[in-house]
Every structure is written in C-alpha cells, then in structure tokens.
C-alpha cells in the first residue's frame, strides 16, 4: 500500500483537475490528465498501470458529462477507443528512457486526437458529406455551431499531455528514491 499511495494521490489530484477543467470549459477545454495517465501507466506498469486511471476516468466521466449537459450515450465509446489506440502506442515504449517516453506520450496525444475526431466525423450526421474536406474540417474547426474550434482541443490536449506526463514521470522516478532513504539519526 505504501508504494501505491503516491500513485493513488496522483490519480485523485488529476481526477479533481479533470472536474475543475469542466467548470471553466472556455479556457481549459480538454486540458485533462487522463491521456498522460493511460500512456505512462501502460509504459511504466503494464496492464496493472491502467486500473487506477480507468477507475478515475469512469468516476469523473459522469460528473463531467453532467456539468456539460450530456447524458451517458454510445459516444462514450469514442474516447475509450482513443485511449485504446494511445495504450497500443504506449506498448512500443515499454523499455524506453524517460525522454523517449515523454515524446511518445506527445505522439499519443496526436493519435488520440486523430482517432477521436475521425470517429466523430464518421458517426456525426451533421458532417453531411464524408469527404476529405469535411474530415479536415473535423480536425481543424469542427462544426460551425460550436464556438470552440477543434484545433483548440488538440492544443490543450497536447499541453496537458506534456505537463502531466512530465509530472507522472518525475513522480514515478523520484518516489522510489524517497521510499529507500532512511531517516537521518538525531545527534545527541
């Protein structure tokens, strides 16, 4: 339990960050920690590294959707498929150095963005023609009725992926050192 405590606290803090991010959707839209948690969790801990991020995501998904006025629908599968694609990419970085893991995590944000926006483009009937031009529209500006263009979602996801991956890598690299250190005896 002592080894897992920093990771559990980290997941709780990041889950709170996700919920707070939905309270300020215009400025922090899609600035979420879960891509970093899934990617780095898979790279560093394998399949067991996905348990806490998955639980935290599922717990925070309901309040996040409720705050944004959405119900539980089949659309929930879009980010799940995006996370699955990111996790598949993460497996390629299993024994990599932290710098390569960080860059791989940024690539994971790109994969997530491409997969989720492509799935939305395919499944959303408001994209009336399924052409290359409307796919590019889905990746850049999105549908005209939405105030925030989709490129802003990608920018914020990339920034969040970089920040939270760096924090995750730092925490998992320094925490074992803290556990191994012994208290300095007092001089009498």
Q: What whole-number percentage of the chain has pLDDT above 90?
A: 38
pLDDT by residue (tens digit) across 65-118? 776 676 767 777 888 899 999 999 999 999 899 999 999 999 999 999 999 999
Per-range mean pLDDT, top range of 12-16, 58-62, 148-152, 169-173: 148-152
Average pLDDT taken over every residue of the chain: 82
Residue 29 is given by DSSP the state T
pTM beyond cutoff 0.75: yes
More confident residue, 186 or 58: 58
Q: Where are the domains of the chain?
A: 5-173
Q: Where are the alpha helices (DSSP H) in the chain?
A: 5-23, 25-28, 34-45, 51-68, 77-90, 98-123, 132-140, 150-180
Write out the two tokens for 47: 């399949």
Residue carrying structure tokens 């012994």: 182
């Amino acid at each position: 339990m002592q080894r897992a405590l920093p990771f559990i606290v980290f997941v709780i803090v990041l889950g709170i960050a996700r919920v707070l991010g939905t309270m300020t959707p215009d400025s922090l839209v899609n600035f979420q920690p879960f891509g970093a948690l899934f990617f780095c969790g898979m790279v560093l801990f394998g399949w067991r590294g996905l348990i806490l991020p998955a639980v935290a995501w599922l717990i925070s998904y309901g309040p996040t959707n409720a705050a944004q006025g959405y119900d539980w629908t089949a659309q929930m599968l879009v980010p799940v498929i995006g996370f699955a694609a990111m996790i598949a990419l993460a497996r390629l970085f299993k024994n990599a150095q932290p710098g390569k893991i960080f860059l791989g995590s940024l690539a994971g944000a790109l994969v997530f963005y491409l997969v989720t926006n492509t799935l939305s483009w395919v499944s959303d009937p408001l994209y009336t023609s399924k052409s290359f031009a409307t796919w590019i529209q889905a990746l850049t500006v999105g549908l005209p009725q939405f105030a925030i263009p989709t490129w802003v979602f990608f920018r914020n996801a990339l920034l969040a992926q970089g920040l939270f991956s760096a924090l995750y890598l730092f925490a998992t690299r320094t925490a074992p050192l803290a556990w191994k250190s012994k208290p300095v005896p007092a001089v009498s």
